[in-house]
Structure 1
Amino acid sequence: MNLIQLVVAVLSFYPWSAGDKNQLATETGFVKVSTRDSRYLAFENDSVFIPIGPNICFPRSELSTQGIREYYESYFQKLSQNGGNYTRIWLSAPHFEVEPQTAGMYDSGLAERTDAVVALAEKYGIRIKFCLEHFRKLTNSPARFAGSVAFDRPPYASQVQTMESFFESGIGKNLYLKRAEYLANRYADNPVVMGWELWNEINAVPLKDPQLLLNWTQEILPKVKERFPRQLVMQSLGSMDNPSAIELYRKYMQLPTNQIAQVHRYLDEGAQLPICQAPMDELAADAVRTLRAISPDKPVILSEVGAVEPNHAGPSRLYAKDTAGILLHDLLFAPFFSGAAAPGQSWHWEFYIHKNNLWGHFGRFQQAIKGFDPVAQKAQAREIQRKNGLKIYALEGQNTSLYWIRDATSNWKTELVEGHLPKPVQAQRITLNSKKNNRITFYDPWKNTWSAAENLSGTQAEIPAFTRSLVVRVEHDN
C-alpha cells in the first residue's frame, strides 16, 4: 500500500471525513450545570440541554474495530434521526479498554476506537457520558450471560492483592488516576464528551467495609474533576430497590463534588421495594422524586432504567411482548414530568430498543417537549393528580405548562401479562391548573399528531379521546 492509499484508508475509517459533520458541539460548547437553574443542564451559551437517549454502553457481540465503528454509526444514526442527542458508553468494556494486558501500559490502537466513536457522536449531534470503570473483582468474575462483559480486572492483580487494597492504597488510586489522565489527554478538551462517571454501580463491589467505597469516591471525584475541568463528574450506584439503598443514595448524591444526582431503578419482581413492581411510570417517577428530595439543587437523572427478570437475572421476558414500546414510553416521559433533568435513560439497548425497533419513541418525547424551556419557565413538577381514572403529571411554568396524562387503567401488567388491549379514554373536560388558559394544544405520542382546543373555558381543558397517554400544552396567564 502506497502513502496515498494509506491516507485514503485512514480517512475512510473516521466519520469526520465525510464532510457532513454536525457542528453542534463546536457551536454550543461544553455541557454544564445551568447557572440559571441548577436542576437542569445547559450548554456554555446557557441554552438548556435535555439529554435524550439510551445507554449504548458496548456492542454485545461485536469486537472488531470496523464492526464497532459500523455498530455505533448505525445506532447513532437511528438515535439522531429520532431526536436523540445523548448516550453513555463504558470505557472499561473490552471493546474500548486502553489498558487491556498490563497495568500502566496503554494501547493507542484501542484508544483510536474510542476516537472514532467520539467523532461519530459529533457527526450525529450526540453527547457522550463515559463510564470509567465497572469491575467488581480482580479475577474470576466472567460475563454472567452471553452479550455481557466480564466484571474483573486481571492486569491489576499483580499490583494489588485485594479489592480493599485497590480502594485504600496509593498504588490502587494511582492506577485509577493515571488511566484517567491518559484519557483526559485525549478527550478533556472535546465538548462532545459531556461527563465522566467514576464507576458503574460502585456499591456492587463486594467489600467487607462499604465505607471504603464512599471514602474513595469522596477523594477521587475532585481529582478526576481536576483532569476534566470543563466536563461533569459523577458517581453511580446500583438499582434503588431496597430500603437501605435510599440512605446510601443520600450519602453519595449529597457529596458536593458529585455534580449530577443519578439513580438506577428497574422493574424487578424480585426487588424488596414494592414500588419496583408498580407500573413503569410510577416506579420511575418515585425514583426521581426520591432523589429530588435528597438533592433538590442538583440535576436529577434516571440514568439506568428498564425491566429485568427477578433479581437482575437477565433482560425481562416482557420485552418480547412489548413491541409497541409501552415500557419505553413510560420510562421516558414519567421522569422528566416528575422534575428530572432528562427523560429516563434505558438500559437494554440491543435486547429491547433495537430488537423491537423502538427508536421512534425518542422522537415522540422530543416532539412532546419541543419549544418548552423548563429553565426559562421556572418549571415546577407537581405531585401526581388522579382524576377519573387518569394520572396527571405536571410541569407547570410561569406562562406555559406541560401535562402528561396517563391512563391509570392500562399498564405493563394489563397489557403484557394479562393481554388486555388498552381501552380508549373518552373526551372529557378537566381542570389542570387555576390560571386562565389562553391556548391549549394536544399531542398524541402514539399517533404523533397535534391538535388544538377549539373552545377555551377559563381554567378548564376539554381533552380529546386518546389511548394510553396524551400530552397537553397550556399557555396561560402568569
Structure 2
Amino acid sequence: MPKYPSAQPKLLGIKYGSNIRRAYEKFEFEVKFDASYINPFDPEDIYVSASFNTPSMRNEEIPAFYHVDYEEKPEGGLRPLGEGKWLVRYRPREQGTYKFSVTIMDGEYKISEEGYEFQVQGYSSRPRFIKLNIKNPKYFALDDGSEIFFVGQNLCWHGRGGLAEYFKWMDKLASNGVNLIRVWMAPWAFGIEWDKLGYYNMREAWKLDRVVEKAEERGIYIVLCLVNHGQFSTRVNPMWNENPYNKARGGIIGKPEEFFIDPRVKSLFKKRLTYIIARWAHSPSIAAWELWNEVDLTDNYEGNVENIIEWHREMSEYIKTLDIYGRPVSTSFANIEKEGKIWSLDKINFTQAHMYMGPINGGRFIEDEVEAIIKVLNDRSSKFNKPFILAEFGVDWRWYNDPLWKLDHKGLGLHNSIWATALLGASSTSMSWWWDSYVEPYDLYGHYKALKTFLEGENLALLREKIMLNLDGVRVLGLKNDSKALIWVQNKASKWYSIVEDEIKHVENLEIILDGFKPGKYLIEHWDSFIGQIFKEQSVESDGKITLFIDRIERDFAAKIRHF
C-alpha cells in the first residue's frame, strides 16, 4: 500500500506457485513491499520491475503493474475484490533455469533483491508470439518459425450484454476458423485512461484481462488498438469535450492536435504504454499494437501531419524498447490518400487500410468491392515490403438511415472480400466491421469457416506469384508457384451491389488457362467456396499450362491445383 512519508522501500517478499513451469505458460507473481508513493501508475513516483536471466543468457527486464481484482455481481456488473497489489507477468519461451531479481524505485531510493529462480521443462500448447516472416516479408510467422495466415474480424468492444455476450461472439468466431480480432481500448470499453489523467481504470483493465485470457483459450490473436480518433476530434465521433487531456476538463492541452507535440502529453502517453506493456505484453494472443484508429480523423490532421509522423516514430521506437517479445506495431487511417510517410517508418511493421463501399461523394457507392480491393492491394504490394491487412471492411459505413448492408443479409460482400484478400497476398482476410449488428444477427460466420477449411494446411507465404486474370464476365485471383496454385474464380456480376440491383447474370462455357507450372501430373480440386467442400476432382497432364473448363458459374468457386 502507498505510504506518503519519505522512507526507503522495503521488499516484503514475492509470492508465486510452483518452481517448475512449461514454456509459453504465464509466470505471474505478486511483489509485496512498503514504499512512499502517491500514484501507482506513475513510474517516476514508483517503479517496480523484474529482470530475468534466461537459459540462453539473455537479460529481459519487464515492469510490474498495479492491479485490482474484480468479481461479477449476481445482479450484474462488477465490484472490486480486495486491495490493490503489484504483479509481474512473464512468458518464458525456452527450457532451462531462469534466474531473476526484483527492483523497486520510488524516486529517491532504489532497492534490488536477487536469488530467485524457476525451472522450465517442456512446452505448453499455448499460442506462440507473432513475428514478421523472414522467408516472405508480406506475411507474419510464429516465433517457433511456423507460418500463420489470419482469418479476421473486428470485435472492438462489447455491448450491453457485457463480457458474457462478448465471449459468445468469440466462441462463434473461433468455432468458424477466425483467429484474429481487432479490439479497441475505447472510452466506453477496455480503455484505461479516461476518468482522470494519469490514473488508470482498473475495472476496464480487469475486463481486458478476461478477453486476453479467453483469446488464448480459443486460439485467437488480437490487434490491440490503443487510441481511437474520436478522443481527439471535435468533428468525427467527437469525444474531445470528455477527454481528460482537455484543459477544459482539468487537463493540460487546449486543442486535440497538441496531443502529438506537447512534451508533457508525450510523457503521459509513454507512461500509459509502459502500463499496457507491463500488463498485457506477456500474452502471445496480443498479435500487434495498433497505435491509432484512423488518426487522420483527428483535428487539423493536414496541418499537423509532420508532427503526427514524428509522434509515430517516437512511440513505435519506445514500444520496441519495452516489449521484450518483439511483436509488430502499426496504425490506421480512414482515408488511404492521407497516410503520408508513416508506412515507411522502420518500426511501423505492417500497413493497413479501411475500406467502405459508400456512401461517398454525395451518396454514390462503389459497386465492385473486389475491383476496389485489387487496387489497394496492388498499390500496397508495390510500395511497401511489409504485411498488409484490410483491417476494416464494409459495404456501407453507416449505422443509421437503413444502411445497404441490411440488404446483403447473406453476406455476399463479406464473402467476396475475404476470398479476394486471402488469394491476393494480404497477410489476413479483410476484417468485417459490423460484428454485432450484421455478422451476428444474420449468422454469417459460416463464410469464415468455408475459407478456413479451404486454406487448411496451406502455406500462402510459399506461393509468391500472383494470378490476376480479367476474362469475359469473370475474374481469376490466386497465388501460385511452379507446382501449386490456389485460385478463386468470381463471376464479376456477383458483387455486393447485385443485391441492391437484385440481379446476377450467370456465365457459361468458360475456359481458364494458367501457365508457369513445371511439367507433370496435377490434381485439380474444385471447391464450393460458400460451404468449403470439394465438389469435383480431376487429374491432368501439364506441359507448363493447365486449362480449366467451366460449363456455368453463378457466383464463384475456388480451386486447388497441385503437382503429384
By how many angstroms is 1:135 displaced? 3.8
For residues 272 and 322 of structure 1, what CA distance do their matches in structure 2 show?
22
Deviations 1:199-220 (A, max 9, x none): 1111111223322211211221
Q: Is the 8 A contact 1:374 1:397 kept in 2?
A: no
1:388 equivalenced with 2:472 (yes/no): yes
The yes-or-no answer on 1:184 pairing with 2:184 is no
Alignment partner of 1:210 out of 298, 302, 305: 305
In the TM superposition, residue 466 of structure 1 has moved relative to its aligned partner by 3.8
Cα deviation digits, residues 127-184 of structure 1 (max 9, x gap): 111000014455866957xxxxx46652111122222322111111112111111111
**Given that residues 308 and 316 in structure 1 are in contact (C-alpha distance below 8 angstroms), is that contact kept between their aligned partners in structure 2?**
no
SS at match of 1:264: strand
**What's the counterpart of residue 40 of structure 1?**
139
Moved more, 229-238 or 72-81: 229-238
Question: Quick check: 1:156 aligned with 2:245?
Answer: yes
Q: Which residue of 2 aligns with 1:18?
A: none
Q: Which residue number corresponds to residue 461 of structure 1? A: 548
In 2: Cα distance, 1:127 partner to 1:292 partner: 24
Please tell me whether the aligned partners of residues 265 and 287 of structure 1 are also in contact (alpha carbons under 8 angstroms).
no
Residue 49 (structure 1) aligns with: 148
Deviation larger for 203-212 or 330-339 = 203-212
SS of the residue corresponding to residue 182 of structure 2 reads strand
Corresponding residue number in structure 2 for 1:406: 490
Is 1:265 aligned with 2:369?
A: no
What residue number does 2:387 align with?
299
More helix by share: 1
Q: Which has the larger radius of gyration?
A: 2
Of structures 1 and 2, the one with the larger relative CO (CA 8 A, separation 6+) is: 1
Alpha-carbon shift at residue 387 of structure 1 (Å): 2.0
Q: Which residue of 2 aligns with 1:73?
A: 167
> 1:467 is aligned with what amino acid?
E
Q: 1:266 to 1:10 in 2, by over 3 A?
A: closer
1:373 aligned partner: 459
- Offset, 1:342: 1.1
Matched to 2:285, the amino acid is V
Instruction: State the secondary structure of the residue aligned to 1:268.
Output: coil
CA–CA distance in structure 2, aligned partners of residues 373 and 11 of structure 1: 46
Give the deviation of 1:351 after TM superposition. 2.2
Q: Which residue is equivalent to 2:228?
A: 134
Partner deviation per Cα, 1:236-268 (whole Å, 9 max, x = no partner):
11133xxxx0xx435121111100111112111
Deviation at 1:100, TM superposition (A): 2.7
Checking the alignment, whether the CA contact within 8 Å between 1:129 and 1:194 is kept in structure 2 is yes
Count of residues paired in the alignment: 438
2:389 alignment partner, SS class: strand
Moved more, 93-102 or 192-201: 93-102
Matched, 1:432 2:514: yes
For 1:224 and 1:25, locate their aligned partners in 2 and report how far apart those are by CA, in whole Å: 27
Aligned to 2:481: 397
In the superposition, relative to structure 1, how do residues 317 and 25 fare at CA in structure 2: closer, same or farther (>3 Å)?
farther
One-letter amino acid matched to 1:475: R
Residue 455 to residue 98, structure 1, CA distance change in 2 (3 Å): closer
Q: Give the counterpart of 2:345 among 243, 255, 275.
A: 255
The partner residue of 1:194 within 265, 275, 287 is: 287
**Is the CA contact (8 Å cut-off) linking 2:511 and 2:550 kept in structure 1?**
yes
Q: Following the alignment from structure 1 to structure 2, what is the Cα–Cα distance between the partners of residues 190 and 25?
A: 13
| Amino acid in the other structure paired with 2:444 | L
| Distance in 2 between residues matched to 1:151 and 1:307, nearest whole Å | 29
SS at match of 2:548: strand
SS in 1 for 2:429: coil
Q: Distance in 1 between matches of 2:449 and 2:189?
A: 29
For 1:147, the equivalent position in structure 2 comes to none
- Secondary structure of the 2:193 match is coil
1:168 paired residue number: 261
Please say if residues 52 and 85 of structure 1, whose CA atoms lie closer than 8 Å, have aligned partners that are also in contact: yes
Q: TM-score, normalised by structure 1?
A: 0.84
What SS does structure 2 have at the residue aligned with 1:456? strand
Maintained 8 Å contact 2:447/2:531: no
Q: Is the 8 A contact 1:404 1:470 kept in 2?
A: yes
Structure 2: 5+ residue stretches without partners: 1-68, 79-122
TM-score between the two structures when normalised by the length of structure 2: 0.72
Report whether the alignment pairs 1:308 with 2:390.
no
Aligned to 1:3: none
* Post-superposition CA distance 1:414-469 (Å, at most 9, x none): x222111x344446442122424511101111243203433525322234644311
Once residues 288 and 270 of structure 1 are traced to their aligned partners in structure 2, the CA distance between those partners, rounded to angstroms, is 20
CA offsets per residue over residues 46-100 of structure 1, 9 Å max, x none?
11111112111112x42xxxx4211221111110110111101001332112123
Aligned to 2:431: 345
Q: CA 1:455–1:464 in 2, change beyond 3 Å: closer, same or farther? A: farther
Among candidates 200, 203, 218, match of residue 109 of structure 1: 203
1:259 counterpart letter in structure 2: N
State whether residues 302 and 344 of structure 1, in contact with CA within 8 Å, keep that contact through their aligned partners in structure 2.
Answer: yes
TM-superposed deviation, 1:27: 4.0
Q: 1:320 to 1:10 in 2, by over 3 A?
A: closer
Q: CA separation in 2, counterparts of 1:154 and 1:271?
A: 31
SS in 2 for 1:446: coil
The Cα RMSD (Å) is 2.9
Q: Match of 1:470? A: 557
Q: Does 1:329 align with 2:411?
A: no
SS at match of 2:431: coil
The separation in 1 between residues aligned to 2:508 and 2:173, in whole angstroms, is 33
- Once residues 317 and 227 of structure 2 are traced to their aligned partners in structure 1, the CA distance between those partners, rounded to angstroms, is 17
Report the Cα distance in structure 2 between the residues aligned to 1:372 and 1:177, rounded to whole angstroms. 40
**Equivalent position amino acid for 1:417 in 2:** V
Q: Any idea what SS the aligned residue of 1:222 has?
A: helix
CA distance in 2, matches of 1:101, 1:142: 21
Alignment gaps of 5+ in structure 1: 1-6, 15-23, 145-149
